[in-house]
Structure formats: C-alpha cells, structure tokens
Homo-oligomer: A and B are copies of this chain.
Amino acid sequence: MPSYRAPVKDTLFVLQSVCKLDAHSNLPGFADATPDVVQAVVEEGGKFCEGVLAPINHSGDLQGCTRHADGSVTTPDGFKAAYDAFVEGGWGTLMAPSDYGGQGMPHIIGTVFQEFSASANMAFAMYPGLNEGAQAAIMAVGSPELKERFLPNMVHGRWTGTMNLTEPQCGTDLGLIRTRAEPQADGSYKISGTKIFISAGEHDLSENIIHLVLAKTPDAPDSVKGISLFLVPKFLVNADGTLGARNGVSCGSIEHKMGIHANATCVMNYDGATGYLLGEEMKGLRAMFIMMNAARLGVGVQGLAQAEVAYQNAVTYARDRLQGRALTGAKNPDAKADPLMVHPDVRRMLMDGRAFIEGARALILWGGLQVDLAHKAATPEERELADDLISLLTPVIKGYCTDKGYEIATTSQQVYGGHGYIAEWGMEQFVRDARIAQIYEGTNGIQAMDLVGRKLAMNGGRGLRAYLGLIAENVASGKADPRTEALATGLEKAAGELQAATMWLMQNGMTNPDNAGAGATAYLHLMGIVALGEMWLRMAIASHAALDAGSSDKPFFEAKLITARYFAERNFPDCGALRRKIEAGSAAMMAMPAEAF
C-alpha cells in the first residue's frame, strides 16, 4: 500500500520565498493569513489529507461507486465518514467569502489544500472541487436571491455542486448542445436532455446536489451563442430553505473508467426538471468559463498532485529495495545488494520527478497568487497585470502540468519494476488517475489552442509581453550573482526560443491558421519549460539568500540548488527542439488525404 506525506516544508518555502506572502499582507483576506495562520492551515491540512483521505484512496479505487436500481449512488466505504470530517474541519470553506460562511482565505492558501487532497485521494477531492467550481459561477453571475438560497449550504458542504456541459454528441464543441430549457410562467425553466461524464453527478455524501447545466432556450441560435446556464437542484428548495420535492433529474448510469473509480461519473437525465437561469440568457458560456478557468487551474493541480504522491512512493521504494550494485562499487557491502537509489538511471527517474514537482508547485502557487491579485491588488494596473498573467498561464498550468503529471506518475511506477504493474502496490492507480487530467476540462489539445489561438493575441499580446518582461527581470537578477548565472543564462536562452517560436506562429499562423494548430501543443510545452525554469531561478536565488543568511536547514536549500541545476540540464535542451518542431509548420500533416490515414 502506498503512503502519502504532505510536502509541508516545501510548500511553506514557496509561499514565503517565491510568492512572498508577507509582502501582500495589506490586501483583503491576506491580512488574516499571518505566517502563523498559514503554517497552521498548511500543517493541519496536510495532517487531514494524510490521516483521513490517503488511507481510503486505494480501497476506494478497488471498490468504486455503485449505482442502485432507484438511481441512487453509493460511494466506497469510508467516503461518507471522510466527507463528514472534511465538512466538520471546514476544509471546503477556506477560500469562500465570509458572507456565505467561508473563511475568506486567499486563493493561494486554498490551492495548497487542493494539492494535498488531490495527492491523498484525487477521486475524493473531486467532490468538493466541483462544489467550489459551481459556487464560483453562482457567486459571479447568480441573482442575489439564488446566492442567498444556495450558497450558504454549498459553502458549508451540506450541499455539493456539479458542472453539466458534455452530451453524447458534443464535448469540446458546445454549439452542438441539445438540452432544452422551456421558460415557465413563474420565471423558472423546465430543463430536458441528457448530459454525460458528469463527475459527482450523484452520490451519498451531501443532502442536496446543485447541478449547473448548459441548455438552449427555445428561440436561441443553434450555436454557442445560444447557450444559457441553469441551476438545477436535485431536491427543490422551499422558501424557508428546507428541502422540497425531488426534481426531475436523475442518474441514468455510471461509467466504468480507467481510473478515479471512487468518483461517480454519471449520465444525468433531465426530464422537465425545474431550473433557474444563472446570469443572462444566452450568456451561459461566459458564466461557464468563470467556473472553467478555476477548474482548469484545479486540474493542473491534480497533475502536480499525482506526480508528487507517485514520486514519494518511488523514493521510498528506491531506498528500501536492494537490487544490483552501484557502478562505482558496492555502497552497501554488508548486504547482498545495494539499494536502487545508487543506480544513476533510477536517480534520473526520481530527479525528473522532483525537478517537475517542485517547479510546478511554485508555478501553481504563484498562479494562485495571481488569481488573488487579479481581484484584490491595490491598483488597477496591478490587477490587470495579474489577470493578464494568469489568463496566459492557465492553459499552460492545465496542459503542461497534467502531461508531465502523467509522465512522472508513469516514471515513478517504472522505478518499481514488475511490482509497479501490480494493483496492490498502488502505483498503477496513480497512473490511471493522473490520465484523466489530460482529458477533462478541455483536452490538452484544446488548452494548446486556447493558448496559441486566444491568449497570445489577447489585448494585442499584452500578457506575453508582460510575462517575458518579468522573466527578463529575473534573468538580470540571476546573472548578477555568479552562482546563478548559468541557470539565468539557460532561462534566457529558453525564453529566446519561446519568443522566436511566438514570432513564427504570429507570422505563419496569420497566413495559414493550420500552422498555429500544428505547433500549438509543442508551444504549450515550450512555455511550460520556460515557466518552470523561471520558478527554478527564483527558487535558486531564494536558496542562496537563505544559505547566505545562515539558514539552519542547509540540506533543504542545497537540495534545491542541485535540483535547479538538474532541471536546467535536462529540460532547457528541449526548448530548441520544440521550436524547430513548431517551425516545421502544418504542411506535412495537412498534406495527408483523410482516407490515407
């Protein structure tokens, strides 16, 4: 059975030294997040995930969810008790505004708990995760009355939420939606249609489930421009807030999937269910994207989280398993073999994991900070900058961190040799669970198109310019110290490849948009390496500063510096290769007749 220890120390380092949380204590929400409070939340959150969520991760995978003849769904043994403890501990209320019973903590702090819980038990963490996404959409566009009626119970966790987009004939292309919404005399709507792949669509954890559903009103145009968003509760809610009649929505079946078995993926049937318009009619997609952007960041976190837990277990195995001898002579001469850890190729796998994980954690928490700053920074300029940066980097965090998350989960499984393939060791579950993160909330191909087709050109390219400027600043700081000069120079070169690739895409995507599509995924990966490289430079600078200041935790900072070097040596070389792939354009792939494939 695998185990999990929350990476408390590394998290506190990133919050303090990379994100400089103290520097933002003047902002709403941050004032309460004093160093003591942050440390307590991180430590206690870690303990909860280690002690309550991790122990039911493997058993939950084996047992899965069960749908009964009446359409009800039971989660695996222990999930209801763990969810009750989750609610009791207030872990779902961290980021929610105090108006609705939340703790009003910064988004960056909530992101820490997202990571820990998604490492400990990804299938479990999705239930509150979807609830948070639904809350975000209601907060953003719901009427005061809907907010009042639904948000307090959702924030509390007594009720949970879902997102209903996909239908059998439409995934990415939401213009194909067929679910209909008929307006009623009382201002409500009757919703009819079938939604598929609805995570947490039905379960036994909460008293009510609040579905947010995309549907078309009768006269809406037959395209994405005709989509509206509706709130459809499983149980109708009386005026006094008590639960009323069962609504016309039910779970038709649950899917048998590659992974996340403990999360119920439902086919949801809407049969004249009562729904309430959220926001304006035919502006549903905009409202959905509020929830979607937060969800995409959350999925990026899942990539990091599965890599982290898989890496941790691979390290333990590499320390414990005795097999073979070091190439440079026995390191454990009293035993019949050395631990796996002595073999460079095993260390390569572990270091690949570590270099990704620590870089991604920094990027994701720094991204969480930008979400906060976009709403709360003191000046409009600072808010615009933060919004530009997180808009640009959302597809990178989602796409790059989940592609790498799957890769590192697989690599960590590889450290186990044959045992990695056996279910009881638990490593193969991490791979299967990590796999979905590349697919849902917009496949990684869609993330790449969002980056290249929308985010680069947004506001005349302001976001990328700002980001490259910020990188150049850090490169300059890095070059000023001979100890970080090589890393800074490597990052400068990588950013140069990114700039050149951007230029190529701008010029050649204009004349033929297929050139942009052909290079999109390579471009997303290129920006991912640059983004992690930038974080590694920040971490290296901070580590030298800590050592110079005589830190009592020398081993921690020395390990950071070694990993920074490894990251640069093993990742920056790919930047030039990715640029060349982008610059190859679309000619070859588009020349192939469809029937020739």
Do B347 and A589 touch across chains, with their CB atoms under 8 A apart? yes
Whether A327 pairs with B517 at a CB distance below 8 angstroms is yes
Q: Are the CB atoms of A444 and B323 closer together than 8 Å? A: no
Report the separation of the CA atoms of residues A315 and B257 in the bound assembly, to the nearest whole angstrom: 22
Q: Contacts A170-B323, A343-B517, A570-B584: A421 and B443 contacting too (C-beta < 8 A)? A: no
Contact residues, A108-137 vs B (CB, 8 A): none
Minimum CB distance partner of A509 in chain B: B327
A445 touches B345 (CB 8 A): yes
Q: Which residues from 562 to 597 on chain A have a C-beta closer than 8 Å to any C-beta of chain B?
A: 562-563, 565-566, 569-570, 573-574, 576-578, 580-581, 584, 586, 588-597
Residues on B with beta carbons closer than 8 Å to the beta carbon of A345: 445, 448-449, 517-518, 520-521
Are A592 and B257 in contact, CB atoms less than 8 angstroms apart? no
Q: When chains A and B are docked, how far (Å) is the Cα of A423 from the Cα of B255?
A: 8
CB distance from A478 to the nearest CB of B (A): 18
Stretch at the interface among A143-151, A294-302, A334-342, A363-371: A334-342
The reply on A360 being an interface residue by CB < 8 A is: no
Given that A170-B323, A176-B336 are contacting pairs, would A565 and B577 also be in contact in the complex, using a CB cutoff of 8 Å? Answer: no
Q: What residues on B are CB-neighbors of A176 within 8 Å?
A: 322-323, 336-337
Q: How many residues belonging to A are interface residues under a CB distance threshold of 8 Å?
A: 99
CA distance A417 to B319 in the complex (A): 38
A573 touches B565 (CB 8 A): no
A563 to B255 CA separation, bound complex (whole angstroms): 37
Query: Measured between alpha carbons, how far is A449 from B343 in the docked complex, in Å?
Result: 10
Interface residues of A in 502-542 (CB under 8 A from B): 512-518, 520-521
- Give Cα A438–Cα B407 distance, bound, in whole angstroms: 13
A572 closest partner in B (C-beta): B580
Judging by beta carbons under 8 Å apart, are B173 and A323 in contact? yes
| Pairwise interchain contact A443-B414, C-beta atoms closer than 8 A | yes
Interface residue? A465 (CB, 8 A): no
Q: Which of B344, B421, B516, B570 contacts A514 (CB 8 A)?
A: B344
Interface of A is mostly: helix
Contact residues in B for A255 (Cβ distance below 8 Å)? 422-423
A454 contacts the other chain (CB 8 A): no
CB distance from A199 to the nearest CB of B (A): 10
Shortest Cβ distance from residue A527 to the other chain B in the assembled complex, whole angstroms:
16
Q: Which residues of B contact A589 (CB under 8 A)?
A: 344, 347-348, 351, 566
A346 to chain B: which residues have CB within 8 Å? 445
State whether A172 touches B323 (Cβ < 8 A). Answer: yes
CB-CB under 8 A for A512 and B328, given A439-B420, A594-B319: yes
Question: Which residues on the B side are within 8 Å of A410 (C-beta)?
Answer: 406, 435
How distant is the Cα of A197 from the Cα of B558 in the complex, in angstroms?
A: 40
A222 to chain B, nearest CB (A): 8
- Once the chains bind, are A418 and B166 in contact (CB under 8 Å)? yes
- Name the residue on B nearest A346 (C-beta): B445
Residue of B nearest to A521 (CB): B345
Whether B439 lies near A418 (C-beta < 8 A) is: yes
A62's closest neighbor in chain B, by CB? B256
Interface pair A596/B258, CB less than 8 Å apart: no
Is B417 in contact with A258, judged by CB distance below 8 angstroms?
A: no
Specify which of B569, B595, B596 is in contact with A584 (CB 8 Å cutoff): B569
CB <8 Å contact, A597 and B417: no
Of all A-B residue pairs in the complex, the 6 with the closest CB atoms, nearest first, are A344-B517, A569-B584, A327-B513, A258-B428, A573-B580, A573-B577
List 9 A–B pairs whose Cβ atoms lie within 8 Å, in order of A's numbering: A257-B421, A344-B515, A344-B589, A345-B445, A347-B590, A420-B439, A562-B596, A569-B581, A573-B578
